[in-house]
Chains A and B, each alone.
Chain A
């Protein structure tokens, strides 16, 4: 049980993978630890709830990994997805530490399984959690509880006292009132601000009101704002977020994995005026899915419609809502409340531009359009076989890039260049240090686990001194 009157050695703000790894590692090093999770117990864990795997370097295949993934290859992958926007020293350290993580995280009760159906391309590089991210979290919480880590839910931090880069206390909402909690060291692992629509609006304008948030409503970025307000150095693009196109019928928050749609490459995508706006077949889907959130966000009313025909229906993973179905394109337009003539014209024009080719959805094939703007470079087949289907899509926000700068100890760096006396950060709140932009599957969990473990260890050492 959490005792707010006690002065803990280490205070962890947040309740996801990074927070729990920090709490466990600090506790194992002998520190007394309090974890403050703003969400209620069911929604604990932020984005970790929705994850399913972790990317770790390893020199040999394991029971659940099909081949080696050397540190250099991991680093090259990171360079590729970030376009070089990474801190090489931190990134290489993280990748090196990730090798130990495969064993360490299992010692904390987390179980791996062979990679999932439909994600076999990750079987060599990524370790999949048995039962997914929530199962992983449950294991970490059970271990933390067994070790004597105090955990409080519905415990939002609303204010902090930080003097000259030194954390003194945090004000925690408890029911109608507040309590002040003191601690020797702080680990901030409270995620990004993707669920804070007002903040998103600062960069995206009113369009942000139409965004759907893929994770919980509790990633509000309040801790991040308090820290930068207290003089901690910022890192990462404050205006950017990881956005994919998800089913527009998804709930505003926490729709998670099952709202994603993998069928863009098989059809055309139009906006509310029935106009296409980007090359749907530019590249294989795993390399392109992350641009479609931003593309749809730029369309009027932030909505798009993926249109495909009967031949493509079973070529992609099913998703949670059934597609809208009609016998003709005109009827489909009616059901979507789009202009019938306009959608028919767009489809007719597209069909006329499709060149003969051999369709092969497993590789970059030679099915493309000619003389069409924008063109469709691959997998272009006429939309002609009834029934016709559509999915409405909106931008789905996964995470934000803005964070606090840290050093190799996971210690926060102040804007004046000095390291903080007792403040550490782990997870999404500092991910921008190694992931300046882009994303590679499972890397968020690597950042969380590796920096969480380091932050916990360093905070415990710090509190003892």
Chain B
């Protein structure tokens, strides 16, 4: 009846939850559940991705373990969510990337860094690689800008295509028409809900991390991470425009927009991932999908390394360390790009899409009522 044991268990839980409904004020999952009476695999994958894993329902539930009904909604939905990432992976043969994901991401990152170092050594004068550089175009003495843009452009494009295919599979699985994806009110509502992490607050008291006492630290650190990431992405985009539209060649002075955006974002990407890792280490083991801890850690580590190497490059760009740091930074960023479709990054994509659908369902229900 269900594709996996996890989905069968999620069905059992949602059926029990649907006959209680005490948790309906906590987040979007339970109101979305109430709109259904039976739960197909697609419905469960939708609910699983709608769940922000705040943990409140576990501590509020009168039937959580050791009760014989053994209701552990956050954990089971976390498992279903992780399994859904693999199910939507494109191309199919890469689905196993989600097994032992932490190790695989680490290998990808190491390989990518090694290739950039080897490339620098092979294609540029070793004297240049280990010499102090300064002035406009110093990076491009190690790697021509067009080559860099081509490699990263292709890597980014690949990631976008793979993620796009995943979106298609998810949307088909949950049975939502494509038209919903271009409805401005649903998209706008989902953007508001996602950008504020509206549902990572246990219904207003804060999410439950290390026990039954609510805290707000995960939300705060996630904001550091998410907005840090966006700022870094903005920095890269502005720099690209500078290069091609204004003909201004990197590196830029510290007060220029790309550096300011990148520095701010970089700080966010140092604080955020560290905070989230600390929260994760203290998380109540009862609600953790322990098999996937590696996936979460790998993604946070990649974001942290992206920032650390980037900031390192900024500080040391006029010293002989620049060459190696540039290879490190580019290697990490490239690995981050090409592994995006096969790691924790996709949680943001599917959760956002689930929020779009929820916004639509909620609006329909309110219009009907």
**Which of A50, A116, A130 is the one whose CB lies under 8 Å from B62?**
A50
Can you report 24 residue pairs joining A to B where beta carbons are below 8 Å apart? A42-B66, A52-B22, A111-B203, A111-B204, A111-B205, A116-B22, A116-B25, A117-B31, A118-B21, A129-B22, A130-B25, A131-B25, A131-B26, A131-B56, A131-B57, A132-B60, A135-B56, A135-B59, A138-B59, A138-B60, A251-B68, A258-B16, A258-B19, A258-B69
| B203 lies within 8 A of A130 (CB) | yes
* Contact A254:B20 (CB < 8 A) given known A131-B56, A134-B62: no
**B23 lies within 8 A of chain A by Cβ:** yes
**A319 lies within 8 A of chain B by Cβ:** yes
**A2 lies within 8 A of chain B by Cβ:** no
A 288-337 contacts with B by CB, 8 A: 314, 317-320, 322
> From A314, which residue of chain B is reached at the shortest CB distance?
B37
Most buried by A among B20, B24, B68: B20
**B227 lies within 8 A of chain A by Cβ:** no
> From B35, which residue of chain A is reached at the shortest CB distance?
A117
> Which 7 pairs, one residue from A and one from B, show the smallest C-beta to C-beta distance?
A132-B22, A113-B25, A131-B60, A135-B60, A258-B19, A319-B19, A49-B62
Specify which chain A residues have a CB less than 8 angstroms from the CB of B34 in the assembled complex.
117
Specify which chain B residues have a CB less than 8 angstroms from the CB of A256 in the assembled complex.
20, 62-63
| B59 lies within 8 A of A257 (CB) | no
Specify which chain A residues have a CB less than 8 angstroms from the CB of B15 in the assembled complex.
318, 320, 322
Specify which chain A residues have a CB less than 8 angstroms from the CB of B290 in the assembled complex.
none
Per-residue interface assignment for chain A, residues 252 to 291, with 1 indicating a CB less than 8 Å from any chain B CB and 0 otherwise: 0010111000000000000000000000000000000000
| A117 lies within 8 A of B25 (CB) | no
> From A53, which residue of chain B is reached at the shortest CB distance?
B22
> From B67, which residue of chain A is reached at the shortest CB distance?
A254
Specify which chain B residues have a CB less than 8 angstroms from the CB of A318 in the assembled complex.
15, 18-19, 37
**A396 lies within 8 A of chain B by Cβ:** no
B 48-79 contacts with A by CB, 8 A: 56-57, 59-63, 66-69
* Contact A117:B62 (CB < 8 A) given known A131-B57, A142-B212, A318-B19: no
Per-residue interface assignment for chain B, residues 29 to 41, with 1 indicating a CB less than 8 Å from any chain A CB and 0 otherwise: 0010010010000
**A133 lies within 8 A of chain B by Cβ:** yes
* Contact A117:B21 (CB < 8 A) given known A50-B62, A111-B203, A258-B16: yes
Per-residue interface assignment for chain A, residues 133 to 151, with 1 indicating a CB less than 8 Å from any chain B CB and 0 otherwise: 1110010001000000000
**B243 lies within 8 A of chain A by Cβ:** no
**B282 lies within 8 A of chain A by Cβ:** no
**B213 lies within 8 A of chain A by Cβ:** yes
| A42 lies within 8 A of B67 (CB) | yes
Q: How far is the CB of B191 from chain A (nearest CB, A)?
A: 25
**Which of A111, A142, A257, A320 is the one whose CB lies under 8 Å from B22?**
A257
| A257 lies within 8 A of B20 (CB) | yes
Per-residue interface assignment for chain A, residues 99 to 131, with 1 indicating a CB less than 8 Å from any chain B CB and 0 otherwise: 000000000000101101110000000001111
B 203-256 contacts with A by CB, 8 A: 203-205, 212-213
A390 to B67, CA, bound (A): 27
Given contacts A131-B22, A320-B19, 7 further A-B contacts (CB under 8 A): A113-B25, A114-B25, A129-B22, A131-B25, A134-B60, A142-B213, A322-B15
Specify which chain A residues have a CB less than 8 angstroms from the CB of B23 in the assembled complex.
131-132
A320 to B67, CA, bound (A): 15
Q: How far is the CB of A126 from chain B (nearest CB, A)?
A: 13
Q: How far is the CB of B17 from chain A (nearest CB, A)?
A: 9
A255 to B205, CA, bound (A): 27
Q: How far is the CB of A96 from chain B (nearest CB, A)?
A: 29
A 414-459 contacts with B by CB, 8 A: none
**Which of B18, B66, B203, B213 is the one whose CB lies under 8 Å from A131?**
B203
Specify which chain A residues have a CB less than 8 angstroms from the CB of B61 in the assembled complex.
134
Per-residue interface assignment for chain B, residues 325 to 363, with 1 indicating a CB less than 8 Å from any chain A CB and 0 otherwise: 000000000000000000000000000000000000000
Specify which chain A residues have a CB less than 8 angstroms from the CB of B31 in the assembled complex.
117
Most buried by B among A111, A135, A257: A135
A50 to B69, CA, bound (A): 14
A317 to B37, CA, bound (A): 9
> From A145, which residue of chain B is reached at the shortest CB distance?
B213
* Contact A132:B62 (CB < 8 A) given known A113-B203, A118-B21, A257-B22: yes
Specify which chain B residues have a CB less than 8 angstroms from the CB of A314 in the assembled complex.
37
Specify which chain B residues have a CB less than 8 angstroms from the CB of A128 in the assembled complex.
25
Specify which chain B residues have a CB less than 8 angstroms from the CB of A258 in the assembled complex.
16, 19-20, 63, 69
A251 to B66, CA, bound (A): 14
> From B23, which residue of chain A is reached at the shortest CB distance?
A131
Specify which chain A residues have a CB less than 8 angstroms from the CB of B60 in the assembled complex.
131-132, 134-135, 138
